Each structure stands twice: as C-alpha cells, then as structure tokens.
Amino acid sequence: MVLDYIKSDLCRYVGIDNVNLYNFSKYYIFHTGFKFSFWLRLTKSENRLVSTVARVQRRRLGTKYFLSIPSSTKIGYGLYIGHGQNIVVNHTAQIGNNVNLSQFTSIGSNHDNAATIGDNVYIGPNVCIVENVIIGNNVQIGAGAVVTKDIPESAIAAGVPARVIKINDLPNYYSHNRWPLN
C-alpha cells in the first residue's frame, strides 16, 4: 500500500507511463518535494525499522527545507509538492487525491480541525487556508489568497479574503499527471 502512494506521487511529476526506477532515482536526487513525500509516505510502513528511519529522514528534510507536514496528516494519492520548501500543514488537515501544494503554503487552525481539501486541487504559492474550511474537488486557488470560507467544486478563487472568481466546467489544468483513482 505504501508503495502505491509513492508511485502515485512520482506519477504527478513524470506521468503514469514513466513511473519507473530511473525516474524515481532522478526525482529523488533532484526534487526536494518528491524526496520529502517519499519519506513522509514511508513513515506509514508496517516495518518498524523502515518507519523509524523514515521518521528521522522526514524530520531532517523538513527542518532543512522548512517543510512541516506531520506523518499523521491524512493525505490521498498523488501528492505534488512544488519547489519543495516552506510548507506548513496542520496535523488535522485532510488532503485529497492529486493535490498540488506550492511554496509558502500554510494550512492551519487555531481552534478545531484544519481544512478538508478535495481531489484535483491546485493551491498556489503563498496561500493561507485558515480553520475548518471545506475546499471542493477541482478547485484552483490563486497565489497569495487567504481562504477563510468554504470553496465549492470547480471554482477558481483568489484574493484576501479569497473569493470565488469563476466556476469552471473544464478540468483543473494545473493538476496535471493525475494518478488514476479507479
């Protein structure tokens, strides 16, 4: 099961037809976001030694690149971490399948649970998602937005505070190389 999550994350970088050992090695070496998600996924391993080493590596990379995504966070298949730095996610957040997290993203809560994020969502750079909001499937959130209210499915949202600019019937084109869910 952990291997499927790792494959799904790699798929987001290279496409489903190019998930192989060569591309795994290439993206592990050269892409911080993939390297971090690899160790994050391995923290769920049933092998105690593997999960212990993974926790140490996740913490080491998290400290080095300012990536704070707890291993207890519920994350679906196909996580894409753009630029691999400066991301903070609350442990109560729920992240769907094929989600893009850009640099300087913050998903947090001061009171109860953090956000629930749907499938095929693109979160632009420097976005803050505050408190227990629900973000629907196929949503695009523009750079610098501060999300304090729910965003419906297929919406494009931007601004401070974030407002729905448009409901888009087309698939989210920023969420490319999706991991097939069926």
Give the count of alpha carbons within 13 A of 122, CB side only.
20
How far is 97 from 99, CA to CA, in rounded Å?
6
Task: Report the SS3 class of residue 13.
Answer: helix
How far is 112 from 36, CA to CA, in rounded Å?
27
Q: Does residue 161 have a cis bond before it (omega within 30 degrees)?
A: yes
Catalytic residues: 83
Task: Report the SS3 class of residue 79.
Answer: coil
How far is 95 from 92, CA to CA, in rounded Å?
10
